[in-house]
Amino acid sequence: MKPKSSKSKRPAASPKPAPPRTGESASDAAASGAGAELRMRSEFLWAAQARPTRGPKPTMDRDDVVRAAMGIADADGLVALTMHAVASALGFTTMALYRYFPNKEALIDACVDAAMGLPPAPRASGIGWRRQVRHWAHAKRAMLCSRPWLAELPFVAAPHGPNWLSWHEALLTCLVGLGLTPEDMMDMLSVVHGYVHGSSDTAISLARSRARGIPDEEWAAAVGADLGRAIGDPRYPVLSAILTSASGGLATGGSLPAKAGKPRTIDDSFFWGLERVLDGLAEYLEHRRTDFVTIR
């Protein structure tokens, strides 16, 4: 069945009751309260697409839809990601998508997980946890910057899909064999993950700006405009002092050298901070007590 074809219309059978869309049942649809919604999103995200045997073959599958949607988001950001845009990129009507995803949110959930992709293959395990974690952190940051539209989504409340778990698994793998308790491993994960996410906003903002074709100078001007207002304002004495001092500006990547000395780029700052975080974890690893149950 090729898209946009049949036009004939004739009265047919009587109205059927609502057909079960998008298969997979969403088992406890009428589950308790509002919290069930999140569980249903998670369930859908993990459910494999059940290929029923009866009717006509679906012309596409969820991955096709997700790919099309990601293409749009990559090209024009989240605002451009409408059901209509996705559908017509695939050559279908808007409503056809609802055979594959119960709603837009579910599609976006799938896009988010797909966009994360798989984490980098683990390095040789002999190189030590620190280099492995560093590698992971760099990769994660690069991933976030390469899909700036991820940061246009709400910060919380998306269900965690397979790839999300893979990234976590990858980091935990770096920590195996250090004699850490399960709790410590999760906490260390949380520290690294938290730092990487939380401190990438500037870089993502720049990446997003670039993806939209805005020159670096213009981005720096826009971001700098905010900070610049601090200068001279009595509410921000320290910030003023810093911004008016040498190299107070924002270097986007070497292209905008700060006023003096070594121009520190956004990436430099990230790397610097990462080393501080790793230092903190290293110190813990040296001094912790080890008389617990550990993950070997």
Partner DNA sequence: CTGATTGAGTGTACGATATACACAGTTTCC
Partner DNA sequence: GGAAACTGTGTATATCGTACACTCAATCAG
Residues found near DNA in the complex (CB under 7 A): 1, 3-16, 18-20, 23, 52-60, 81-84, 87, 92-96, 98-100, 103-105
Please report, as residue ranges, which positions from 19 to 78 form the binding site for a second copy (by CB under 8 A).
32-36, 38-39, 42-43, 46
User: Among residues 114, 115, 195, which one has the least CA distance to residue 147?
Assistant: 115
CB 221 within 8 A of CB 215: no
Our CB check for DNA shows the closer of 84 and 276 to be 84
Smallest gap from residue 280 Cβ to DNA (A): 43
Smallest gap from residue 198 Cβ to DNA (A): 28
CB 257 within 8 A of CB 263: yes
Smallest gap from residue 13 Cβ to DNA (A): 6
103 binds a second copy (CB under 8 A): no
CB 24 within 8 A of CB 50: yes
Smallest gap from residue 214 Cβ to a second copy (A): 4
For residue 289, the one-letter residue type is R
162 binds a second copy (CB under 8 A): yes
Smallest gap from residue 10 Cβ to a second copy (A): 42
Could you give the CA distance from residue 264 to residue 249 in angstroms, rounded to a whole number? 9
Q: Which helix (H) or strand (E) holds 41?
A: helix 36-46
Smallest gap from residue 247 Cβ to DNA (A): 38
Our CB check for a second copy shows the closer of 95 and 118 to be 118
Our CB check for a second copy shows the closer of 87 and 106 to be 106
Could you give the CA distance from residue 274 to residue 15 in angstroms, rounded to a whole number? 61
How many residues of this chain interact with a second copy, rule: CB under 8 A? Answer: 92
Our CB check for DNA shows the closer of 33 and 56 to be 56
Our CB check for a second copy shows the closer of 94 and 245 to be 245
Our CB check for DNA shows the closer of 8 and 291 to be 8
Local structure of 265: helix, strand or coil: strand
Q: Residues 53, 58, 60, 66: is their CA dihedral positive or negative?
A: negative
Phi, psi of 251 (to 5 degrees): -95, 125
Local structure of 172: helix, strand or coil: helix
Smallest gap from residue 35 Cβ to DNA (A): 19
**Tokens encoding 204:** 């993502």
- Contacted entry of DNA, a second copy, none for residue 52, CB cut-off 5 to 8 Å set by kind: DNA
- Contacted entry of DNA, a second copy, none for residue 75, CB cut-off 5 to 8 Å set by kind: none
Our CB check for DNA shows the closer of 37 and 201 to be 37
Could you give the CA distance from residue 115 to residue 100 in angstroms, rounded to a whole number? 18
User: Among residues 125, 147, 148, which one has the least CA distance to residue 135?
Assistant: 125
Could you give the CA distance from residue 188 to residue 174 in angstroms, rounded to a whole number? 11
- Contacted entry of a second copy, DNA, none for residue 225, CB cut-off 5 to 8 Å set by kind: a second copy
220-to-21, 206, 295 alpha-carbon distances in Å: 47, 8, 46
Please report, as residue ranges, which positions from 180 to 219 form the binding site for a second copy (by CB under 8 A).
182-183, 185-188, 190-191, 193-201, 204-205, 208-209, 212-215, 218-219
